Structure 1
Amino acid sequence: MDERFATPKSMKKVILRVIRTTLLQLGSATKVELSKLLGISFPTVSKIIAQMERDGEVYEIGLDDSSGGRRAKRYEFNPEHMLGLAVFLEENETVYAVFNCVGEVKEHGTRASVFQDAFNSLTELLHNILLEFPKITSIAIGVPGAVNNGRIFHIPNYQSFHDFELKTYFEDLFSIPVVVENDMNAAVLGFQKRSGGEDKQSLVYLYSGKNGPGAGILINGDVVRGSTFFTGEISFMPLYDNQNFHQAMYQGNKKNTENPTIHEKHEIQAISRLIASLVAIINPHTVIFSKEEMNQTVLNRIAIESAKYVPKEHLPEFIMSDWKQDYLHGLQRLAIERMITGIRIVDELE
């Protein structure tokens, strides 16, 4: 790491970030190991570690065996030093989790939906959680809509949230970094993390839920957002001469929330055409479905139907997963990344 071309303040932030990340990845390290691994001078590493130790961010866990000189101190990151908060908003509920730097959940809860009275209920919920857990240093919020850098610009069912700068609103209110993410983008990130799959795989997560069809797409390990952040809005895909995917799935009816399992012939045909389109365009390794909406018999039928449009050998693997857990895990991942890479906004302004 070249330390010559940055201001002291910005360089300190960079070094803090890489030391935090490295300690979390390795579990523990000595100052010499950090200096060699990161290419940062030993005096700089020593200074930063000393400050982190005073702040309670790292602690000494013992001395290494001597190799002829003074025994080196080994340090470990304190996972309880900072906490994160993940919240996702659904039509009939609001789900949240408080967790530490390694993702261990400290509290998990479900509340009534906040969509009915716009921001009052959500603001009150976040305020109460932050009072109970003052170590929270980042928040990730998931929404069933398209998001561009924290602004919700397409959320048809909830007009009070449409075209709203949710990230800016809560950062100004709480002085804590906030990430706002589309539900399916968070879910596909969470699945990748929970499954322990290869980072460079291409994945598509399909889900209808309470708000209509959506997709999260990961190509070579990166979320695909598109030029206007509209990627994944598969409802608009024209699968027939006079029907898009949403129309083909529901045939003029509302989604059956009492029995969300996909089983109708027209649903299987629509999904199979969608799968064939995805294979021809991005050729994903895996397509993930919510186990709430899918079963193995239907997956087998989708595979047979999809093979009518594209050669069978190019079809992806079909997997069922727990959408809520994937969603929360993805939000946790985003919050932890923001937690490790940044500090409280009020500190940045000083």
Structure 2
Amino acid sequence: MDKTTKITGKPKFMKELNISEIKRAILKNPMITRSNIASLTNISLTTVGNILTELIRNEDIFTGGYEESSGGRKAERYYFNKEKYHSLSFCIDNKSIKYIISNILNEETEHGELEVNDRAVREVITEFTEYTLKQKDIKAIALGVPGIVKDSSYLIKGPDGEWIKNDIGEFLRNKFGIPVILENDLNSTVLGFSINFAGKNKDKELKNLSSVYIDFSDDCTGAGIITNGEIVRGKYNFAGEFGFIPMDGGKTLDDIINDECGNEEYVETLVKLILIINYTINPGIIIMRGERFREELHNLVVEECKKHMPEGSFPEIIFKEHSFDDYFRGISSLGAELMHKNIGL
């Protein structure tokens, strides 16, 4: 039965709803036939046919051959024009800006690094976005940022410990009229790691994964957290700021690690951190990286942690070299999700 029979008086709304349902069916099932679309969406064959004709005319979809016939007329197959729309994602850190352009299937079509020199981040990103919009139909912009996200802005610590607000998201949305999403860099990274991990391990699903990705960077210790496939941000987007955790002697975790403490104190501090994480979140995997992570102590930290935990409840702890692969995957996935929403998927 056509969905228009369920809600009356709103034909335009119902047409948009039917188009969205049909687009989603084609996106999830490439080379699908009209009858299969009707079956999946509960939309009548006539309505499906009319909408398919419109989508082909607009070059949203293409036809791609025919289904094998069992005696009657062969059924045409349909698939998305994956290069019609794109998302533009940026990975911002303290030293560089990297970008990735993805198509509607979240397949990378282009990536690179932008020269910053002494220019402001906003200027560099604005200039590149203007250039890219002349080449492609960008339907979403995603920004991975090294700070605490507040709506379309983010906060970073200034040289004197003050919080500095950067409203780049709001600026880009107002300037280009394109939806913009901001996400913390480590949240993006743990999301990308989890997506990649699920892709490499077919017995794992993103919705069942819980991971903590800790970065012992030069200036602070922070983490991205995933539980049951969802990013944990906290009420005020402050989740994962482990460097502020109070430790012994009135010091924070960052105070101890930044003081270039001895190996014994270093191991003791990391063991406490891991136990706090495990008894609070109980993730399946804890990933560690960063300039201040002492890889040579990895095994000792693991063995000390196991002394305080029941057998079978201990997460896998791995060291990972710094790489933008996970960061790229996470932020581009958020960009693709926003793009799909913007084009009615």
Same fold flag (TM > 0.5)? yes
Give the 3 Å change call, closer, same or farther, for CA 305–101 of structure 1 in structure 2: same
Q: Which residue of 2 aligns with 1:328?
A: 328
How many angstroms does 1:284 deviate by?
A: 0.5
Q: How many corresponding residue pairs?
A: 333
TM-score computed with the length of structure 1 as normaliser: 0.83
How many angstroms does 1:37 deviate by?
A: 1.6
1:181 aligns with 2:183: yes
Q: Which residue of 2 aligns with 1:316?
A: 315
**d(CA) in 2 for partners of 1:184, 1:168:** 21
Q: Which residue of 2 aligns with 1:231?
A: 239
Give the 3 Å change call, closer, same or farther, for CA 295–250 of structure 1 in structure 2: closer
Q: Which residue of 2 aligns with 1:171?
A: 173
The residue correspondences of 1:99-114 to structure 2 (distance < 5 A) are: 99-113=102-116
The SS at the match of 2:142 is: strand
**d(CA) in 2 for partners of 1:235, 1:126:** 34
How many angstroms does 1:46 deviate by?
A: 2.6
> Which one-letter code corresponds to 1:110 in the other structure?
E
**d(CA) in 2 for partners of 1:8, 1:290:** 54
The SS at the match of 1:163 is: strand
Could you tell me which of 251, 259, 264 is aligned with 1:251? 259
Give the 3 Å change call, closer, same or farther, for CA 42–117 of structure 1 in structure 2: same
1:39 aligns with 2:42: yes
**d(CA) in 1 for partners of 2:44, 2:158:** 54
Cα deviations by residue, 1:67-98 (Å, 9 ceiling, x for unpaired): 44432211011211112211011111111111
Give the 3 Å change call, closer, same or farther, for CA 251–13 of structure 1 in structure 2: farther
Contact 1:52 1:58 in 2 (8 A): yes
How many angstroms does 1:171 deviate by?
A: 1.1
Contact 1:202 1:218 in 2 (8 A): yes
The SS at the match of 2:333 is: helix
TM-score computed with the length of structure 2 as normaliser: 0.85
Give the 3 Å change call, closer, same or farther, for CA 18–318 of structure 1 in structure 2: farther
The residue correspondences of 1:94-243 to structure 2 (distance < 5 A) are: 94-113=97-116, 117=120, 119-131=122-134, 133-152=135-154, 154-157=155-158, 162-196=164-198, 197-199=204-206, 200-243=208-251
**d(CA) in 2 for partners of 1:221, 1:298:** 30
Note the residue ranges of structure 1 that are not aligned, 5 or more in a row. Answer: 254-262, 345-350
**d(CA) in 2 for partners of 1:148, 1:115:** 26
Contact 1:202 1:284 in 2 (8 A): yes
Q: Which residue of 2 aligns with 1:79?
A: 82
Give the 3 Å change call, closer, same or farther, for CA 329–251 of structure 1 in structure 2: same
Give the 3 Å change call, closer, same or farther, for CA 246–58 of structure 1 in structure 2: same
Contact 1:188 1:203 in 2 (8 A): yes
Could you tell me which of 19, 22, 25 is aligned with 2:25? 22
Contact 2:33 2:78 in 1 (8 A): yes
1:65 aligns with 2:68: yes
Moved more, 35-44 or 220-229: 35-44
> Which one-letter code corresponds to 2:104 in the other structure?
C
Q: Which residue of 1 aligns with 2:201?
A: none
Question: Matched residues, percent identical?
Answer: 29
Aligned-pair RMSD on alpha carbons? 3.0
Contact 1:89 1:114 in 2 (8 A): no
> Which one-letter code corresponds to 2:215 in the other structure?
Y
Contact 1:273 1:309 in 2 (8 A): no
Moved more, 283-292 or 113-122: 113-122
Note the residue ranges of structure 2 that are not aligned, 5 or more in a row. Answer: 199-203
